Structure 1
Amino acid sequence: MKEESPKAIFYALAANLGIAICKFAAAAFTGSGSMFAEAIHSTADCGNQLLLLFGLREARKPASPLHPMGGGREINFYSLLVALLLFFVGGAFSVYEGVHRLFAREPLQYAYVALVVLGVSVVLETLSLWGAVKEIRKSHPDKHLWRWFRETRESELLVVAGEDIAALAGLAIAFVAVLLTMVTGNPVYDALGSIGVGVLLMVIAWLVAREVKSMIVGESASPEVRRAIETHLRGRSEIRSIINMITLQWGRHVVVAVQAEMIDYASGRAMVDAINVIEADLQEAFPQVRWVFFEPDVPRV
């Protein structure tokens, strides 16, 4: 697996910062609840990207007596924080704002300004999503997005892609809500748009949080990596059979524990030397494999 690349996060941060400024100005100018909900969403996203960058830095902590495998999994913790913030700050607040405006029925002014800002935001969010998809395609060129979402072990990229998809869908909802309000003169559509954006954000946040929680609990390496490692080991002439193999994703790195039946050796030292060669060769073939625990054994009848 490649080293941490924050490019997608920087794309998203730059896009959301510009979008948030435009949306707050448009919300103040037009009085649009949908626009204000979108502005809060973009502001929350900026904070989320800063959290992810901090998490990537923490994940590079070296091994210590307290954390013998380093801080690689810290990024999962910060990714979960981002998902929770997306749910509460982005989603719940947008729903609250929409419900409030259902009762307040505040008129929408200069709706065309809101539509222009939403259109510009769509362009910027599309560029941000393009940056995230570009990073995804570097390592998974043939995997469709939903399968990648379910199988990826890159929590920070998962969060960025989820945010961008939620943002684009939310912008579409807000655009339709403002347009309907402008055409009909009924501010209820604008309030419903804000509620719709909030519900969408909470659904996306829940999906992201579910995936990140699984990473925190402890997931194996991705299915294709695990299969490739097992195939590599089964092809070693020193190994008679693989009894059991466990992989564990640890941030950007992988832990491999192997229980295998070895061929006959003249001495224990000869077997140890053979195991050392197997481990070194495995780490050369799979640079992401940082730790290998190898146990020679015999199959239990």
Structure 2
Amino acid sequence: MGELFRLLKGGNKPSLLAAVVNTIIAILKGGAFFFTGNVAMFAEMMHSIGDAANQFFVYIGSSLSKKAPTPRFPNGFGRLVNLVCLGAVIIVGILSYETIIEGWHHIQHPTESTGVAITLSVLAIAIILEFAVLYKAGKEILHEVGIKGTAFSPLTTSFTHLKRAKPATKLVFMEDLVATAGGILAFVAVLISHFTGFLQAEGIASIMIGIMMFYVVGKVFLDNARGALGETDEQMLTHIAHIVSENPHVKDIQKLEVIKEGEYLHVEIIIEIDPQYSFAEVDDIQDKIKELILNQQGVTDITISFDEDDGIRTWTEHRDQRTVLKTRD
């Protein structure tokens, strides 16, 4: 039990915050829907329930993924967070479908909602809370990639670096981006329905919210499916190849893999060196290269092997040769 609490303490904080906030929002929206019967509010309630469930699962998954390797699972549990995210999106997919169906029914059989003031008040509170979580997730993305910015950077620069964010943080950011946009859309739909009498506006908003939820499902599913299979981090691979090649003892890189293991990176490299080096010298070279690579952001595990230099350039087919290939005397 003590280990479980220790692991939970190290879980992804943005996902935990988002789960708690979305649970509160879901309760508020559920109460508003119960009293008003507003279809747009129903869509938002379903959205918040899905987000809350998703983010609770993701928080638990991100916590358990930090569990140390065991004899039964020697490669560790890093990819567990990807598997949890894959399961979590199924919940959102089901709720997305229900949201679209409910919206379609309302378009076909529009009914006037009551309690507009309650609906708008709850939506306004939800938008503010969702925006706060979105901003927090944006700050976490910048922190994870090691970038400092202005007060607006979490809402601007974070989009540029979204791909390099941890799976859990990325999911929270995307879900709350859609949740904030969906809340604004529902707010506008309620205003249109109330002041123009175009009751179908709420149903249209519900369908649009459901479609946005499906987009998140597809995006998160593909990202985490690649992570579960073991995706190469191309940017970090290029960077590591570059810094290793700068070591004067390295003659060539025979093999280099940088695989995403959930929130972390596993590096496996085979380096060619002069066969005249002694064992002690090779050990010193290994220690220096290992320390260098482990100091790179996200790298937690590395396997280094050595082979004698065969005089043949092996590392010549990387996508960005300018950062890898070095001419040596």
Letter in 2 for 1:261: E
Q: Which of 252, 270, 277 in structure 2 is aligned with 1:241?
A: 252
Residue 272 of structure 1, CA deviation:
4.2
Alignment match, 2:208:
196
Alignment match, 2:100:
95
Q: Quote the Cα distance in structure 2 between the aligned partners of 1:219 and 1:299.
A: 31
Alignment match, 1:76:
82
Q: Is the 8 A contact 1:254 1:289 kept in 2?
A: yes
Superposition RMSD in Å: 2.3
Alignment match, 2:6:
none
User: Is 1:86 equivalent to 2:97 in the alignment?
Assistant: no
TM-score normalised according to structure 2 size = 0.82
Q: Is the 8 A contact 1:73 1:251 kept in 2?
A: yes
Q: Is the 8 A contact 2:11 2:59 kept in 1?
A: no
User: Is 1:121 equivalent to 2:126 in the alignment?
Assistant: yes
Alignment match, 1:215:
227
Q: Which of 45, 50, 55 in structure 1 is aligned with 2:61?
A: 55
Residue 263 of structure 1, CA deviation:
2.2
Compare 61-70 and 134-143 and name the one that shifted more: 134-143
Query: What SS does the aligned partner of 1:260 have?
Result: strand
Q: Quote the Cα distance in structure 2 between the aligned partners of 1:222 and 1:300.
A: 24
Query: What SS does the aligned partner of 2:256 have?
Result: strand
Alignment match, 2:38:
32
Residue 40 of structure 1, CA deviation:
1.3
Moved over 3 A (4+): 142-147
Letter in 2 for 1:101: H
Query: What SS does the aligned partner of 1:106 have?
Result: coil
Letter in 1 for 2:248: S
Q: Deviations over 1:9-43 (max 9, x none)?
A: 12212221221111111111111011011111111
Query: What SS does the aligned partner of 1:292 have?
Result: strand
Alignment match, 1:112:
117
Residue 300 of structure 1, CA deviation:
4.6
Compare 113-122 and 134-143 and name the one that shifted more: 134-143
Q: Which of 151, 155, 160 in structure 2 is aligned with 1:147?
A: 160
Letter in 2 for 1:295: F
Alignment match, 1:66:
72
Change in Cα spacing, 1:235 to 1:164, as seen in structure 2 (3 Å) is: same
Residue 147 of structure 1, CA deviation:
3.4
Which structure has more relative contact order (CA 8 Å, sep 6+)? It is 1
Q: Which of 291, 303, 317 in structure 2 is aligned with 1:292?
A: 303
Q: Is the 8 A contact 1:265 1:271 kept in 2?
A: no
Residue 55 of structure 1, CA deviation:
0.4
Q: Quote the Cα distance in structure 2 between the aligned partners of 1:231 and 1:93.
A: 50
Q: Quote the Cα distance in structure 1 between the aligned partners of 2:89 and 2:25.
A: 20
Unpaired stretches in structure 1, ≥5 consecutive residues: none
Letter in 1 for 2:240: I
Compare 248-257 and 127-136 and name the one that shifted more: 248-257
Q: Quote the Cα distance in structure 1 between the aligned partners of 2:138 and 2:10.
A: 15
Q: Deviations over 1:27-70 (max 9, x none)?
A: 11111011011111111111111101210222122212332111
Change in Cα spacing, 1:201 to 1:252, as seen in structure 2 (3 Å) is: closer
Q: Quote the Cα distance in structure 1 between the aligned partners of 2:203 and 2:294.
A: 57
Identity %: 25
User: Is 1:168 equivalent to 2:180 in the alignment?
Assistant: yes
Q: Deviations over 1:65-113 (max 9, x none)?
A: 3321110110011112222322222x11110111122233222112222
Query: What SS does the aligned partner of 2:251 have?
Result: strand
Q: Deviations over 1:222-261 (max 9, x none)?
A: 61x3333222211222212223322112123322222322
Q: Is the 8 A contact 2:40 2:205 kept in 1?
A: yes
How many pairs are equivalent?
295
Change in Cα spacing, 1:279 to 1:253, as seen in structure 2 (3 Å) is: farther
Letter in 1 for 2:32: A
Letter in 1 for 2:157: H
